[in-house]
Amino acid sequence: MNSRTSRPPARSASRPLLAERHVARLLVGTLAGRLPNGMAPVAILLLIAEQGGSLAAGGLLCALYGLASAIGQPALGRMVDRRGQTRVTAAAVLITTVCLLLLPYIDAVLQPALAAGLVVLAGLSTPPLEANLRALWGAVLPDPERRRAALALDTGAQGLIYVAGPPLVALLSAVHGPGVAMTVTAALGLLGATTVLSAAPSRAWLPAVARAGGFLGPLQHGGMRLLFLAVGGVGFALGSMNVWAVAMADRHGMTLLSGLIPAALSIGSLVGGILYGRRRWPGRLSSQLVTAALLFAAAWVPLTLGPGPLAATAFTALPGLFLTALITSAFLAVDALAPAGTRTEAYAWLIAAVGTGQAAGTALAGVLSTGPSAAALPAAGSVACLGVLLGARRRLATPGKPRPRGRHRRAPAHAAHR
C-alpha cells in the first residue's frame, strides 16, 4: 500500500497541519530543545556580570559559544547521517546540559580558561535538533506540499526562540539570579530534546544505506557551496540588525527598542511562514530562491533611510515576511541536491552558514555601530546573498523528481501515520 491509497490527498490537505500525527510534538519539542540557543548567551552575560566580570569578557564567552555551535553542527550532522538520530543527539544534549549546569559554579573571573572550556564544549555539543527535524519531515509528511508547509512553519517559528528566550532569562535572573536562569536554560533544552528523541519518527529514523560525497560530503557539490555562501549573507543581515537595534536603543534612549526590533523581524518571519505554506509557488526552485532573495533585499531599503523608533520597528517586520520563504527554499534546495546519505549534514551546514554569517555581521556592526553605515549593513548582507544566488542559478538547478529521503525502520513513507 502506498501513501496515496493510505490517505486520500484531499482529506490530508484539508486537515490542519498541526493536527497531523507527530507534527505538533516534533515542532514544539524542537523549539523547546533549541531555547538554549537564545537563552544561554544572555544567561552567560548576566552570570559574568554578577561575578564582577566585564561586559567584554561576557561578550567574548558568548561569541565563543556561538562560534563553537556553528562549527559543531555539521560534524554532529555527519554523525547522525552515519549512526542515526537517537544515540548521537542524546549524547550531545547530555554533554551540553552538564556544561551549562556547571557554569554557575565556576568563577569566570578567577577561572577564565575553565569557563571558556565549558562554554566551547557546550557550543560544540549543541544537539542538531533543527537539522534532525528537517530530516524527519519526509517520513512524517509524505505529501510534498504538506512537507513544504511544515518546513515553512518550522522555519518561521524558529524566531520565537529569540523572542521568548532572552526575556525569560532576564525575568528569572531578576527574581532568582543568573545561576537559576542558567539551570532553567539547561533543563528546558534537555526536556525539549527528550520530547523529540522519544517520538516514534525520531526513534525509527535510520541513516541511508549508501553515502555519497566522500570526505567533503555535501560540500563536494559546487551549487551547495554557493548556496551556503549565499545564506551566510542572510545571517550577516540578521547579526548586524541585532547590533543596529541596540545602537538605535542607545541613540533614542529607549532600552526596550533593542528587543522590540528583533522581535518584529521574528514575528514577521512567523507570519511569512504561515502565508508561504498556504499556497503553491510556481517556477523552478532556483527561481524561487532568487525571487525570495530579491524581496528580502528590497525589504531592508526603508531601514537605510533613517526612520524613527516606531517606524524602524514596523519596517523591520518586512524583511521577516520574506526571510522564511528564502530559508525554506534554501532547505528545499538542500533536500534536492544533497548527495545520498548526507542530508542531515547538509542541513547542518546550512544552519552553520547562517550562524557564521550572524557572527560576522555582529562583529562588523559592533565596530561600525556609531557610524551612519550601520543601518546599511543588513541591506548589504542581503544584497550579497542575492548576488551569489544570481550567479549560482544554473548550479542550483534541481532534479524534477525528489529523491528518496533515507531509510526508516518501517519502510513505507506513510508508516509514521499509522
pLDDT at position 406: 47
pLDDT of residue 266: 80
For the chain, what is the mean pLDDT?
78
pLDDT in tens, 239-262: 788 777 767 777 777 766 666 777
pLDDT digits (tens, 9 = 90+) for 184-240: 999 999 999 999 999 888 888 776 665 555 566 677 767 778 888 898 999 888 878
Residue 86 to residue 193: CA distance in whole angstroms: 10
Q: Which of 84-93, 172-181, 298-307, 405-414 has the highest mean pLDDT?
A: 84-93
* Structural class in CATH, domain 16-142+159-207: mainly alpha
Q: Assess whether pLDDT exceeds 50 at residue 411.
A: no
DSSP classification of residue 285: H
Question: What's residue 385's pLDDT?
Answer: 92
Mean pLDDT of 14-31: 81
Assess contact for 293 and 385: CB atoms under 8 A. yes
Which has the closest alpha carbon to 149: 278, 4, 281, 270? 278
Q: Which CATH class is domain 216-400?
A: mainly alpha
pLDDT computed for residue 268 by the predictor: 85
pLDDT score, position 215: 61
Q: Which residue has better confidence, 288 or 367?
A: 288
- At residue 188, the pLDDT reads 93
pTM of the model: 0.71
pLDDT of amino acid 98: 95
Residues 122-126, mean pLDDT to the nearest whole number = 91
pLDDT confidence of residue 68: 87
Residue 17, pLDDT score: 72
Reduced to 3 states (helix: H, G, I; strand: E, B; else coil), residue 256 is coil
For the chain, residues classed under CATH 1.20.1250.20 are 16-142+159-207, 216-400
Q: Which residues have CB under 8 Å from 119's CB, separation 6+?
A: 44, 61, 64, 65, 68, 99, 103
Q: What is the pLDDT of residues 269-282, one digit of tens each?
A: 888 877 776 777 76
Output helix, strand, coil percentages for the chain, rounded to the nearest 5: 80, 0, 20
